[in-house]
């Protein structure tokens, strides 16, 4: 029953989007973490999506290829009274762009909703298929 | 008689198979709306249906001489050619999924699938009426 593949596709996309949402949550909550267990300030992380072939007929789902460290430069904040300030009075703060992360969050949640809708449609179609001839 | 019953349902069976295949392709497009460099794909439905119907009437069977040859599974009914969509507004990351288009096509395909189911059901009812009198 090939319509069942829609569940796999939507499921893979939902897993990927929820991982993206997790990373956004981590970035937003650590937007002000000037230090961490390694002694370095927090670095923003981003997920990378890639296409996952489900079968040889062009039907494809999504998978998270990896979580990368955001390569953008760290923020320098002038705060001489901060215990982590350097000789010039600057503190290195995480490179989290709060606006970008909020947009990412909305995008991820909308994509998640779309995939739930898709799954519901497939479910309705399958249930109707089961009642052929009744 | 059995072949006649088959013939009555053949058209809708082929159409349903193609519709469910197209539903999968569109689901893949929507699922990959955030994947960089993903190219949206679709089939030309009427052409694919005609191809599938003529292939079925000619009773094509794929001969497999090696275990690595592709079989004729019904995942791609009648060998429908999967094409790439031409993007109207291409995005910077090379993704060609137009969410509005994909969602309308997805809904459209779902309604057509349901319509096909309704037709098949009423045909079965007609045949039953003819049998039972």
Q: Give the CA distances from residue A23 to residues A31, A105, A106, in Å, rounded to whole numbers and listed in that order.
A: 12, 9, 13
pLDDT tens series, chain A, 134 aa: 578 889 999 999 999 999 999 999 999 999 998 888 888 899 999 999 999 988 777 788 999 999 999 999 999 999 999 998 999 999 999 999 999 999 999 999 999 999 999 999 999 999 999 988 77
The residues near B114 (Cβ < 8 Å, ≥ 6 apart) are: A125, A128
d(CA A71, CA A78): 22
Tell me phi and psi for residue A69, to 5 degrees. Answer: -80, 135
From CA B110, how far away is CA A53, in angstroms rounded?
Answer: 23
Whether residue A121 and residue B110 make contact (CB cut-off 8 A), yes or no, is yes
Whole-angstrom distance, CA of residue A13 vs CA of residue A106: 15
**The pairing of beta strand A60-69 with beta strand A75-78:** unpaired
| Mutation target among B35, B74, B98 for the A interface, most CBs of A within 10 A | B35
Q: Which of A17, A53, A56, A59 to mutate to test the interface with B (most CBs of B within 10 A)?
A: A59
Whole-model pTM over 0.80 = yes
The CA distance from B109 to B25, in Å, is 11
The residues spanned by each domain of chain B are 2-132
| CB nearest to A3's CB, from B20, B30, B35 | B20
| Tokens matching residue B132 | 């039972």
Which of chain A's residues have a Cβ under 8 Å away from the Cβ of B32? Answer: 13, 49, 51, 60-62
Q: What is the DSSP letter of B65?
A: S
pLDDT tens per residue, range B30-83: 999 999 999 999 999 988 888 888 875 544 556 677 777 765 544 466 667 888
- ipTM > 0.90, yes or no: no
Give the chain A residue whose CA is nearest to the CA of B100.
A114
pLDDT band at B114 (very low <50, low <70, confident <90, very high): very high
Among A2, A121, A124, beta carbon nearest to B21: A2
Count CB-CB contacts under 10 A for residue A78.
10
* Dihedral of the alpha carbons of B83, B85, B90, B96, in degrees to the nearest 10: -70
């Amino acid at each position: 029953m090939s319509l069942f593949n829609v569940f796999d596709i939507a499921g893979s996309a939902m897993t990927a989007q929820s991982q993206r949402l997790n990373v956004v949550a981590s970035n937003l909550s650590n937007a002000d973490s000037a230090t961490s267990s390694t002694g370095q300030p927090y670095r923003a992380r981003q997920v990378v999506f890639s296409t996952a072939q489900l079968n040889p007929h062009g039907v494809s789902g999504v998978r998270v290829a990896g979580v990368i460290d955001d390569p953008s430069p760290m923020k320098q904040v002038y705060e001489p009274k901060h215990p982590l300030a350097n000789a010039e009075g600057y503190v290195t703060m995480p490179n989290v762009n709060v606006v970008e992360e909020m947009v990412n969050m909305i995008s991820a949640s909308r994509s998640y909703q779309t995939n739930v809708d898709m799954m519901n449609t497939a479910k309705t179609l399958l249930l109707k298929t089961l009642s052929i001839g009744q | 008689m059995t072949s006649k019953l088959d013939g009555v349902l053949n058209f809708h069976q082929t159409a349903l198979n193609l519709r469910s295949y197209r539903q999968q392709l569109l689901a893949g497009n929507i699922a990959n709306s955030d994947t960089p460099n993903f190219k949206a794909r679709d089939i030309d439905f009427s052409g694919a249906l005609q191809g599938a119907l003529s292939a079925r009437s000619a009773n094509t069977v794929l001969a497999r001489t090696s275990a690595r040859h592709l079989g004729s599974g019904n995942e791609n009914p009648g060998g429908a050619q999967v094409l790439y969509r031409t993007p109207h507004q291409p995005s910077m990351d090379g993704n060609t999924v137009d969410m509005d288009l994909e969602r309308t096509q997805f809904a459209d395909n779902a309604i057509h699938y349901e319509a096909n189911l309704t037709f098949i059901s009423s045909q079965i009812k007609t045949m039953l009426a003819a049998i039972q009198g």
